[in-house]
Structure 1
Amino acid sequence: MLLSGVLFGLFLGLASGEDGSAAWLRYAPLPHDSSHSSLPSSIITLNSTRGSPVYTAQQELRRGIQGIFGKTLNNGTSSNQHGAIIVGTAQAYQKSYGEFDDAKELEEDGYFLSSESNQVLIIGQNERGALYGSFDYLSRLAQGKLGAVSYVSNPHASIRWTNEWDNMDGSIERGYAGPSIFFENGFVTDNVTRVAEYARLLASIRINGMIVNNVNANATLLSPRNINGLGRLADAMRPYGVQLGISLNFASPQTFGGLSTFDPLDPAVDAWWANITNQIYARVPDMAGYLVKANSEGQPGPLTYNRTLAEGANMFARAAKPHGGIVMFRAFVYDNHINESNWKADRANAAVEFFQDLDGKFDDNVVVQIKYGPIDFQVREPVSPLFSTLRNTSTAIELQVTQEYLGQQTHLVYLAPLWKEILEFDMKADNRSSKVKDIISGERFRRPLGGSAGVVNVGTNTTWLGSHLSMSNLYAYGLLAWDPALGAEELLQDWIRLTFGHDKKVIETVTEMSMKSWPAYENYTGNLGIQTLTDILYTHFGPNPATMDNNGWGQWTRADKFSIGMDRTVKNGTGNAGQYPSEVAKVYESIETTPDNLLLWFHHVNYTHRLKSGKTVIQHFYDSHYEGAATAQDLVEQWNSLEGRIDVERFEHVLFRQKYQAGHALVWRDSINQFYYNLSEIKDEAGRVGNHPYRIEAEKMTLDGYRSYSVNPFHTASGAKAIVTTSNTTEGTATTKVTFESGRYDIAVNYYDLIGGKAQYELHINNKTIGSWKGDLEDKLGHAPSVYLDGHSATRITFRNITVGKGDVLKISGRPDGVEPAPIDYVSFLPPGVVD
């Protein structure tokens, strides 16, 4: 009964408008008269068990073909297979029809798809494979790829999981799309309809496992009520072949189970985990396994008892092995209280230092889950050297779909090109080809397990991730986990056709926007390998390079008045370059051979150091930040050009975010450039940094009910100051005469939008209202907001094509609300074509 209700809800839910809930599974009619006379008219399902993936596959095929072609598939029979779609497992097909040649090529979860004759064969190695083949076939049809095909598709790796960072109270760590779909008020949710919808999306991109709770796990998940709730989640996901997994808190035997210890070598602890694991598998017999974060960022672990990380991981492996479960053990282990005054200290070394002596000591059902770089999902990092260090241990790569350090779904950043660089990187272990993609599959070092884990963090927002365009990252993640040889642009264009349709201009424009988005974001946030210059002590969203030093977290730049960058050489630095195989280490050890885009990752240099381009480091910083911010402005105009070609709801949603990104990119540009200009005292050769001829600083206007306020960090305000109302109940005004020549201008107001209040503003010229707005971005964007005037809360609104006369009176009024004192930074009068 529950399953039927879930599936019925899916059909109803996706019949609604273009709100993003259908994602790439819209099954929209093709935009031309596509003849479907050659399409099969019936479907033969080789497993009619309700709730099985094959049963789901036939439902999906009916639904998709009805949506794309308006054609209803009849029920076929085994005796009349002509003109039919036959879907099922290889075993079931051979039982009904005899052998077929491609069966021996199928690997676990793989499928054979053929549409060469008057029938379509979708044959999976298992039921999940049959479902994957059905989604693949429907994807081709929905994209108008109607030609005959015949091929086998097998997964590159067996583990293709997502990691959801949902908390028991319903919040989501690093989630930007609303509350959890799995938990609320300390318990597993009762309504699993949206969980089933999500599992359907994941199955369509061939994801086979999902960790449903935060790696910073809460032990109460192991209560009887919640174990039963996990069963409900698994029941909702099972028709789509997505297996449930959970994160564990290492100290659970003590904090939840009542034992005096959580020592992994204590027999009572070992027995406790075996017992709780048996209870979970009794309710979820096909559970994928466990994910464990231990001895990292304050989380408990085996090092508490002077036990090794392998001994801790193997304790869980022993409990899960009788049930066929896998233990994913995160390599994100480091000391977050290291001393920057020690020139040799380096967080980037931590993973190898903690794990290198444990290679070969993990049980066969343990997989070490390694972040793609040595630090933490930065805009650019080198590949983690741990991939080539662990030769006798199964490994998986951890990628982050949710844009924690990369704009938090308010900035367009298409991540597949970044992931492709990592996956295709050759570690050259033992002077042999050792691409990361072949290491994580288990092929290179002949390991039994391996694959990918993607941090996704969907929420209740209809767009799933909070942004329509960010869904391209989820789509690309799943299919790259299946086949890392796929191209980033190829995946993107498939996603665009499935999401927005077949309009050539839409495809070309969104492709161009997306493909230049990662380089642009890197340019205006942190380049030359310096990491994302965000506030690592707060929300990881806006700019604050000062927090990158003088802290115990180890995400350092070592910037001073004269120089910048981490010396990670063996000769004179932390030795990180020496953790790589010899051929790669040789490249990184030398400034001459290190790529410029990783220069400051591996080398400490003067600001005046000349890059291979001939520019100095500091001038490259200045230029890149201006170039990246300019690209962000172009993205608005490119998206605007699609008006009328995309439905209004999604067009306006994306336009709002692109405008926000354009404004916030300027905040980033000015903040980073001003910080390093002040630090180095080296002028910008182009004379742009600190020179803003189109601005009127709010603190220099005539203030009534407002007062000047020194912003911290200083570089997140133009001129280091802003204005705030004199109290949280006093309305303020700021007035001045326009000194610019008469003409038409875009008038931009930079202000701060804090959480905890929704201040209201009005902009006037000669007492004529030009526009009004409210400080309510926390309700519209979903990013991690701020309670301070800083780079996270700084934003901009622009009123376009306004006629202004020299000497006119400009007035801004601000009405505070809650803790938000209607803060304003500056006003810009921008002539046509000027960005500021």
Structure 2
Amino acid sequence: MSLLASTVNDLRRSNVGPANDKHSATVHPEARHNRTSGPVIYKDVRASLPHPDLTSHPPSTLPTMRSPWFLAAVASLVVAEDGLAGWLRYAPIPSAECYHKRLPSAIVTLNSTVGSPVHTAGKELAQGIEGIFGKNLKLVATSDKAGSEPTVTVGTVAAFIDKNSGAKFPDLIEDGFHLNNERGALYGTFHYLSLLARGNASDFTLTSNPDAPIRWTNEWNNMADGGTHGSVERGYGGKSIFFWDGKIRDDLTRAGQYARLLASLGINAAVVNNVNANASTLTPANMDGLARIADVFRPYGVQLGLSLNFASPQVLGELDTFDPLDAKVVKWWHGITDELYKRIPDMAGYLVKANSEGQPGPMTYNRTLADGANLFARALKPHGGIILFRAFVYDHRTLNQTLDWKADRANAAVNYFDHLDGQFEPNVAIQIKHGPIDFQVREPVSPLFAHLVKTPSVVELQVSQEYFGQQAHLVYIAPMWKEVLDFDLRVDGKPSVVSDIVSGRRFGRKLGGYAGVSNVGTNTTWLGSHLAMSNLYAFGRLAWNPKQTSEGMLKEWIQLTFGHDQKVIDVITKMSMQSWPAYENYSGNLGLQTLTDLLLGHFGPNPGTSDGNPWGCWTRADEDSIGMDRTVWNGTGFAGQYPAEVAARYERIETTPDNLLLWFHHVPYTHRLKSGKTVIQHFYDAHYDGSAVAQTFVPQWQSLKGHIDDERYEHMLFRLKFQAGHSLVWRDSINQFYFNKSSIPDEAGRVGNHPYRIEAEDMELDGYQSYRVSPFETASKFHCVVTSSNSTQGTASTTLSKIETGTYDLAVNYYDMALGNSTWEAYLDDKLVGRWHGDFEYHVGRASSPYIDGQTATRITFKGVSIRKGSKLKLVGKPDGKEPAPIDYVSILPEGIAD
């Protein structure tokens, strides 16, 4: 008999006992909790399949043993794929037939009703082995029905012992792996298949425990978009997979497929609607629909969670109040909760955003946030549910940087929650964004994690790339998450790593964990980009075990998603690991956050919106200096919210890391960093360096042609080309803005000096006219050209008298607005070079914009164009709708130069 099992202390919503504090060694099943244990048991009566190494460590630390079929798997299978299977492709491995005799011929599923996680595990195992090895396995109820054929048995320990009367469950070897519930059996199956699909096989097994009991995703899905179709707020992968036209979708196939992906990562719940919740979610018809979502989740052990609108008793229940201490309101919420649990007995619980960004909450009635959270906790308690109450609380109506030097949104979370520690019901956990502002490209860890000693906390991470290029830019975020989870807050002078705080280990708490704002959509890539799925995978893996390395998780994902071709693994690993530092460099650095358009789509550059607004993402930049003074002695006092050791580090410029300098300190542009550079020169250099790295992504990806199927290859090539062009827009916009503000020139002479450009407004115009762009820095020389009317074709032409005969790259910077589908053409001496359309918003995930600005600025490049001196270049723009075919400039570039 051979075993594959894992020690998974997977706390369900009804069990709030402490999570195991380590990835432990051998544990005998009878010594576990007084619950049903559920191993995945491989009982092969003739020969055993090699046990996979279920270690949570990266592949580089796995045993080096490789089976023959793995060595043959290097050959790439480039079959077209749309991304729907994610990392659960179970791609066939060449020459796997040689393993058929060693594989089981049947799967026995014990204590398994149809639709249960154990039954699902059996089906998944059959599907995986068929996909990977090309062998069909039948499912049987007992090993007797399999006859003398080798079998693999999936079930709980109790069921195994019951079926084998008198038999003692065998002791596990060191690092033995067993599970304590049906959901764990499914997790073990996914772990096993993941390792087989990656070609890892060894004679070892390992106990594997989830780091924390709460491992949820948040899906910011809306019931309706403009009263018609379900949308996803800050989602860039299509419409909602749950809602349509103000109700739950009739076809929930995609919801079930998503649950399968989540289960493969050990995610145990998903909140399906927006934190800015619609009260209509709680109508009887919609509650019936929510029960249907729960039904498709249940086979995968994923529980349904629900966001609530705090004012629902008044909006939906027709009460005259939503005061959390009013008896009528209490009764109403208890009734709604009971109705939900009648329909969904295993509902995970609630998620609530209150008194933030205009949302209703308990403070409307001068009640505390604890009063609000406890209202729901008490309604959930009889059903075993929990509530995640968001710490994202601030009143944008009271923030005014011009009147109050000490005003600081970053202070809000601690100010609101610190004095409430210990006042929450036991089934309340406070969900805290990883940083004190809002998923910025660089923030310090939220100090609130250090203040909630008696109250469980959950770290909120954003998989959806709201401030990270919105899936139109490649940004692998796991390295940033690792910095957050590994950060030591030094509470009371003792080690206090964030991952230990949210797991409950540091303060001995029963709840805690991880929430990932995923925001998947109907696009077959789920997130809008194939490579963006590495972030969803990494979130799930970190929620299970935050000790894993960013590169290790990435390589796992690449193998599962693209196969075993070492070139593919190496190239995607290099690009992905470079992506966050590059994006930080060209979007905003030194702790100044992402200098994106805060008032619109959070996508393109618009540094001017960082200040003078009520949203609190301020830089306080003027003509002489820049940065937020968050010190105690002179600033907003935010630094003092940290425990003493960390506070002392951030209080002084000398000990503050340069990458957070402008977060904590207001300094002159001429202040010298630890590198010796001035702040302004670092800004110039970093933006050039970051955009230069983005240029390399295109040729790196092109080196994989033939190694990846054409569908995914072309999909990502389109996005990476866009990123290369848009990174230049970011570079020039930010550098021009701060050059204009500081009047300090770039020592390298690059900013404002572009020798290869021809400004569109300087060309000979027919049907085009000059237009001053706002914000000014998002156009070269502050202007572009637009057609004179929505029906007039425009032509911009020039003679290339200063260009020597040769081969060049011809780049055109233009604006693709969400107001039409303009067409452009480029000609040399009346010979067509290329034609393109303003339909970018249909091809790549990002927030759309109706304006000529940094959101819509983009570039197309025609490579290897033969140009002779004196050639006539002509650009023709044909407007469509209200999009006036805008053109910013043209660059005639020596090959290999990006400007």
Q: TM-score, normalised by structure 1?
A: 0.95
Q: Which residue in the other structure is 2:861 paired with?
A: 798
Amino acid across the alignment from 1:828? S
Counterpart CA distance in 2 for 1:278 and 1:829 is 68
Deviations 1:468-527 (A, max 9, x none): 000000001001001001111111001000000000100000000000100000000000
Find out whether 1:621 has 2:667 as its counterpart: no
Find out whether 1:769 has 2:832 as its counterpart: yes
Counterpart of 1:515 (choices 542, 563, 577) is: 577
Counterpart CA distance in 2 for 1:103 and 1:222 is 48
Counterpart CA distance in 1 for 2:253 and 2:696 is 40
Deviation at 1:425, TM superposition (A): 0.4
Q: Is the 8 A contact 2:108 2:153 kept in 1?
A: yes
Amino acid across the alignment from 1:829? I
Q: Which residue in the other structure is 1:402 paired with?
A: 464
Counting only pairs closer than 5 Å after superposition, residues 401-480 of structure 1 correspond to structure 2 as 401-480=463-542
Counterpart of 2:666 (choices 604, 609, 616) is: 604
Counterpart CA distance in 2 for 1:99 and 1:788 is 71
Counterpart CA distance in 2 for 1:65 and 1:189 is 33
Counterpart of 1:244 (choices 298, 304, 324) is: 304
Q: Which residue in the other structure is 1:749 paired with?
A: 812
Amino acid across the alignment from 2:412? A
Larger relative contact order (CA 8 Å, sep ≥ 6):
2
Counterpart CA distance in 2 for 1:292 and 1:112 is 40
Amino acid across the alignment from 1:780? H
Counterpart of 2:279 (choices 216, 219, 233) is: 219
Find out whether 1:334 has 2:413 as its counterpart: no
Counting only pairs closer than 5 Å after superposition, residues 777-816 of structure 1 correspond to structure 2 as 777-816=840-879
SS for the counterpart of 1:153 is: coil
Deviation at 1:663, TM superposition (A): 0.3
Deviation at 1:623, TM superposition (A): 0.5
SS for the counterpart of 1:452 is: strand
SS for the counterpart of 1:513 is: helix
Counting only pairs closer than 5 Å after superposition, residues 548-697 of structure 1 correspond to structure 2 as 548-697=610-759
Q: Which residue in the other structure is 2:190 paired with?
A: 135
SS for the counterpart of 1:43 is: strand
Deviation at 1:835, TM superposition (A): 1.0
- The structure-2 alpha-carbon separation of the partners of 1:188 and 1:645, relative to structure 1 and needing over 3 Å to count, comes to same
Counterpart CA distance in 2 for 1:717 and 1:99 is 75
Counterpart CA distance in 1 for 2:564 and 2:107 is 27
Q: Is the 8 A contact 2:651 2:664 kept in 1?
A: yes
Counterpart CA distance in 1 for 2:159 and 2:772 is 73
Counterpart CA distance in 2 for 1:160 and 1:267 is 33
Amino acid across the alignment from 1:526? G
Find out whether 1:286 has 2:286 as its counterpart: no
Q: Which residue in the other structure is 2:609 paired with?
A: 547
Q: Is the 8 A contact 1:18 1:650 kept in 2?
A: yes
- The structure-2 alpha-carbon separation of the partners of 1:102 and 1:765, relative to structure 1 and needing over 3 Å to count, comes to farther
Counterpart CA distance in 2 for 1:400 and 1:461 is 19
SS for the counterpart of 2:827 is: strand
Counterpart CA distance in 1 for 2:644 and 2:95 is 57
Deviation at 1:437, TM superposition (A): 0.3
Deviations 1:570-601 (A, max 9, x none): 11111111100011111111111111111111
SS for the counterpart of 1:516 is: helix
Q: Which residue in the other structure is 1:119 paired with?
A: none
SS for the counterpart of 2:196 is: helix
Find out whether 1:165 has 2:225 as its counterpart: no
Counting only pairs closer than 5 Å after superposition, residues 9-88 of structure 1 correspond to structure 2 as 17-31=80-94, 33=96, 35-36=98-99, 37-75=101-139, 77-78=142-143, 83-88=150-155
Find out whether 1:90 has 2:152 as its counterpart: no
Deviation at 1:819, TM superposition (A): 1.1
Counterpart CA distance in 2 for 1:584 and 1:101 is 50
Deviation at 1:32, TM superposition (A): 5.0
Deviation at 1:86, TM superposition (A): 2.1
SS for the counterpart of 2:810 is: strand
Unaligned runs of 5+ in 2: 1-77, 225-229
Q: Which residue in the other structure is 2:435 paired with?
A: 373
Counterpart CA distance in 2 for 1:820 and 1:103 is 68
- The structure-2 alpha-carbon separation of the partners of 1:81 and 1:791, relative to structure 1 and needing over 3 Å to count, comes to farther
Deviation at 1:81, TM superposition (A): 9.2
- The structure-2 alpha-carbon separation of the partners of 1:415 and 1:361, relative to structure 1 and needing over 3 Å to count, comes to same
Counterpart CA distance in 2 for 1:518 and 1:385 is 23
Amino acid across the alignment from 1:498? L
SS for the counterpart of 1:215 is: coil
Counterpart CA distance in 2 for 1:610 and 1:690 is 23
SS for the counterpart of 2:131 is: helix
Deviations 1:39-85 (A, max 9, x none): 33332211231000000000000000000001122446446798432
Counterpart CA distance in 1 for 2:348 and 2:173 is 26
Amino acid across the alignment from 2:892? F
Counterpart CA distance in 1 for 2:171 and 2:535 is 32
Q: Is the 8 A contact 1:78 1:96 kept in 2?
A: no
Counterpart CA distance in 1 for 2:698 and 2:420 is 50
SS for the counterpart of 1:139 is: helix
Counting only pairs closer than 5 Å after superposition, residues 255-334 of structure 1 correspond to structure 2 as 255-334=315-394
Amino acid across the alignment from 1:403? Q
Deviation at 1:778, TM superposition (A): 0.9
Deviation at 1:805, TM superposition (A): 1.2
Deviations 1:338-375 (A, max 9, x none): 01021111000000000001000010001100000000
Amino acid across the alignment from 1:138? L
Deviations 1:741-779 (A, max 9, x none): 111110000000000200001000111110000000011
Q: Which residue in the other structure is 1:153 paired with?
A: 208
Counting only pairs closer than 5 Å after superposition, residues 728-739 of structure 1 correspond to structure 2 as 728-738=790-800, 739=802
Amino acid across the alignment from 1:52? S
Counterpart CA distance in 1 for 2:876 and 2:347 is 58
Counterpart CA distance in 1 for 2:500 and 2:148 is 40
Amino acid across the alignment from 2:858? T
Q: Is the 8 A contact 2:247 2:286 kept in 1?
A: yes
- The structure-2 alpha-carbon separation of the partners of 1:313 and 1:70, relative to structure 1 and needing over 3 Å to count, comes to same
Deviations 1:257-311 (A, max 9, x none): 0000000000000000000000010000000000000000000000000000000
Q: TM-score, normalised by structure 2?
A: 0.88
Amino acid across the alignment from 2:400? N
Q: Alignment RMSD, CA only?
A: 1.6
SS for the counterpart of 1:235 is: helix
Deviations 1:608-646 (A, max 9, x none): 111111111101000000000000000001000000000
Counterpart CA distance in 2 for 1:218 and 1:102 is 52
Counterpart CA distance in 2 for 1:221 and 1:755 is 30
Deviation at 1:17, TM superposition (A): 4.7
Residues matched between the structures, number: 808
Deviation at 1:99, TM superposition (A): 4.5
SS for the counterpart of 2:689 is: helix
Q: Is the 8 A contact 1:528 1:597 kept in 2?
A: yes
SS for the counterpart of 1:21 is: coil
Counterpart CA distance in 2 for 1:768 and 1:700 is 22
Q: Which residue in the other structure is 2:48 paired with?
A: none
SS for the counterpart of 1:833 is: coil
Q: Is the 8 A contact 1:124 1:131 kept in 2?
A: no
Amino acid across the alignment from 1:262? F
Deviation at 1:698, TM superposition (A): 0.1
SS for the counterpart of 2:207 is: strand
- The structure-2 alpha-carbon separation of the partners of 1:102 and 1:683, relative to structure 1 and needing over 3 Å to count, comes to farther
Amino acid across the alignment from 2:355? N
Deviations 1:145-203 (A, max 9, x none): 12222121111000000000000010110011111010011101111111100000100
Q: Is the 8 A contact 1:90 1:126 kept in 2?
A: no
Counterpart of 1:184 (choices 217, 222, 244) is: 244
Deviation at 1:335, TM superposition (A): 1.7
SS for the counterpart of 2:480 is: helix
Deviation at 1:448, TM superposition (A): 1.1
